[in-house]
Structure 1
């Protein structure tokens, strides 16, 4: 479903030149959930932005559902792939109702039966028709992210690009959104690329993952290796240890 070949993304020139993504390649099968992990600044979100046209592709190829993407992206591309952003507070227009947010992509793509599609989209993300004419400030963080997911799904794409979709939410709400995404993938046959710095989130949702560092691919591994701690690369091992967080033993050792 996705084939990323030798992707390079460069910002700026001269002394301001930054190589954000360096020669990254991976493939994602249809119906698979694939993770991109790494510390802040590793280039993982830039990969997603390059796929959907929000970051320039300096060189390399991005093939989605058998078609190489073009610049600018076509309407067909956006009917195939959609993105869910990290911050639901920023990704929804504050003066647009839920109804307008969901109807806009339908209008752009000339999709009919908008009424039925909007109600169906709300139902799929666990929200009733009573949410249809609310504004973002009348919704909780989890409800806003559900609307963002509904907006991404309303065109019936095959691929969802998920850029840290739960990191701005409370821990209890994170679990609800992750379970929702997992259910939707199975029900609708979706393919996911999930970007996260949280290894537990990736291990929960994804079958395989790519570890990135300083814009480069470090190691591709099954998510089972994260759960068991059997990743072979030293940097991946350090990420696993860091993700285990604060313990009393580490505190007393530091003291």
Structure 2
């Protein structure tokens, strides 16, 4: 469903991503993990069409992607950002936030779709006409997820979707994402610095360091601690230390 071949990303004269390659099968959730500045979010934003300075090969559902994307791409590929407060318009109600992508893509029956979207992410009906500042952090991220899914995409890109939330809320949102992924048969890429989050949702993951992928491994290898690269082993050891 997603093909990334020898992707390079430049910000001016500074190259931040080097020869990154990986494939994601239909219905798979693939993880990108690494420390801050490793390039993982830049790769995700490049796939989403938010970064102009790149070269290499990108394809979604067999269709090669260029620097400019058409409306069909943005209907089939949606993204959930790290900070739900920053990604939601502060002067729009939840109703307006959810109605906007339907209007952009010319999708009818907004009333039933918005009602269903709120139910899918377990938000009460009274939240529909509230503003983002009137919601909790977890509720705001649920709105962001509902907005991403309301146009029925096939690919969901998740950029640290729980890192801005309280620890008590993180598990709820992760379980919600797991349920939605299964119910909708979504193909996902999840970016996180947290190996526990990656291990919870992803069958395979790529470890990034300095803008490069240093290792791709399966969830079983992550759990068994059988990673080959030294940086991956360092991340696993740090994760165990934090859990302890």
TM category (shorter chain) comes to over 0.9
Find the partner of 1:56 among 42, 52, 57: 52
Scaled by the length of structure 1, the TM-score of the pair is: 0.93
2:112 to 104, 116, 120: 116
Give aligned pairs, total: 244
Alignment of structure 1 residues 7-156 onto 2, 5 Å? 7-12=7-12, 17-156=13-152
Q: Which runs of 4+ in 1 moved over 6 A?
A: none
Please report the TM-score for the alignment, with normalisation by the length of structure 2. 0.97
Helix, strand or coil at the partner of 1:231: coil
- Secondary structure of the corresponding residue to residue 107 of structure 1: helix
Larger radius of gyration: 1
**More displaced stretch, 215-224 vs 65-74:** 65-74
Q: CA deviation at 1:57?
A: 4.3
Corresponding position of 1:3: 3
What is the rounded CA distance, in whole Å, between the counterparts of 2:157 and 2:106 in structure 1?
A: 23
Instruction: Name the structure 2 match of 1:227.
Output: 223
Which whole-Å CA distance do the structure 2 matches of 1:247 and 1:100 have between them? 40
Is 1:213 the counterpart of 2:218 in the alignment?
no
Aligned with 1:244: secondary structure? helix
Distance 1:107 1:87 in 2: 24
Deviates more, 1:36-45 or 1:57-66: 57-66
Call closer, same or farther: CA 1:56–1:102 in 2, change over 3 Å. Answer: same
Aligned 8 A contact 2:11 2:53 in 1: no
Q: Which residues in structure 2 correspond to 1:241-252 (within 5 Å)?
A: 241-246=237-242
Consecutive unaligned residues in structure 1, runs of 5 or more? 249-255
* Residue 188 to residue 245, structure 1, CA distance change in 2 (3 Å): same
Whether the 8 Å contact between 1:69 and 1:77 is mirrored in structure 2 is no
Paired residue for 2:158?
162
Distance 2:137 2:37 in 1: 25
Distance 2:79 2:25 in 1: 18
Shift of 1:191: 0.7
CA distance in 2: counterparts of 1:214 and 1:157, whole angstroms: 31
Q: CA RMSD in A?
A: 1.2
Q: How far apart, in 1, do the equivalents of 2:230 and 2:242 lie?
A: 20
Q: 2:178 maps to which residue? A: 182
Q: Distance in 2 between matches of 1:27 and 1:144?
A: 31
1:172 to 155, 162, 168: 168
Q: CA offsets, 1:37-66, max 9 Å, x none?
A: 011100000001101111124210110111
Task: Could you tell me which runs of 5 or more consecutive residues in structure 2 were left unpaired when the two chains were aligned.
Answer: none
